[in-house]
C-alpha cells in the first residue's frame, strides 16, 4: 500500500513540476501566474484576441460558464497499479470598472508543496476593452481545451464545457 501511494504522489508531483509550478515557488495569485507564463516553459501559452463584442457581455458569459464548467472534481486512474488521483478545480472572477479577470485553480490531495488556497493556478483570462470591443488575453499551463472554451464563451458561442480530465 505505501509503495503504491508513493508512486501516485510521484506521478502527481511530476505532473505539477511539468506544469512549472511545483519545482519552485508556486504563484500565489493571478499576477504571479501571469509572470510565470510570460517567462515561458513546457505547456505554457499566452493567447490574445480582439472580439467585436462589449467586454461586459463577454466577461459575463465567461464568468457564468467558468463557474458552471470549472468548479468540478475529477478522478483519474493512472498506471499499472491503478493509482487514483482526484483533481478539484476552482473558478473565480473579479471585475473592475474597465476590465475583469477569471482564474482557474487545480488542487489535489496528492500535491506536495505549498500552494495558495484553491490550489495551483492553471489559467487566468483578462478581459477588457471599449464599447463594442473586447480584448481577451488567456494565460495558461496545460489543458489547451480550456483556452478554446474561454475564447468561445467570450465570443458568445455556445456554453459547452471542456473535458477536465
Is a pLDDT exceeding 60 seen at residue 8? no
Q: For residue 49, what are the domain limits?
A: 2-154
**CA–CA dist 58, 137 (Å, integer):** 12
Tell me the sheet residues that pair with 89: 106
**φ, ψ (nearest 5 deg) of residue 123:** -160, 140
Rg over alpha carbons for the chain, rounded to the nearest Å, is 17
Q: What is the pLDDT of residue 1?
A: 33
Residue 42 covered by a domain: yes
Q: Is residue 165 part of a domain?
A: no
| 50 in a structural domain | yes
Q: Is residue 134 part of a domain?
A: yes
Residue 3 pLDDT: 30
Q: pTM for the complete prediction?
A: 0.82
Contact criterion met (CB below 8 Å) for 93 and 101:
yes
Dihedral sign for Cα atoms in the order 149, 153, 157, 162: positive
pLDDT in tens, 107-164: 998 888 889 999 999 999 999 998 899 999 999 998 899 999 999 999 999 778 999 8
Q: How many domains does the chain have?
A: 1
Assess if residue 33 is contained within a domain.
yes
Amino acid at each position: 500500500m505505501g509503495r503504491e501511494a508513493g508512486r501516485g504522489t510521484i506521478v502527481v508531483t511530476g505532473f505539477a513540476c511539468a506544469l512549472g509550478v511545483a519545482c519552485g515557488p508556486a504563484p500565489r495569485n493571478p499576477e504571479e501566474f501571469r509572470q510565470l507564463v510570460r517567462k515561458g516553459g513546457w505547456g505554457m501559452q499566452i493567447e490574445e484576441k480582439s472580439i467585436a463584442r462589449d467586454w461586459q457581455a463577454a466577461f459575463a458569459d465567461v464568468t457564468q460558464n467558468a463557474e458552471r464548467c470549472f468548479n468540478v472534481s475529477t478522478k483519474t486512474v493512472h498506471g499499472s497499479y491503478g493509482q487514483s488521483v482526484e483533481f478539484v478545480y476552482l473558478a473565480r472572477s473579479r471585475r473592475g470598472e474597465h476590465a475583469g479577470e477569471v482564474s482557474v485553480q487545480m488542487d489535489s490531495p496528492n500535491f506536495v508543496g505549498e500552494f495558495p488556497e484553491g490550489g495551483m493556478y492553471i489559467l487566468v483570462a483578462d478581459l477588457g476593452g471599449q464599447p463594442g470591443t473586447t480584448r481577451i488575453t488567456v494565460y495558461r499551463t496545460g489543458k489547451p481545451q480550456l483556452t478554446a472554451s474561454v475564447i468561445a464563451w467570450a465570443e458568445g458561442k455556445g456554453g459547452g464545457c471542456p473535458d477536465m480530465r
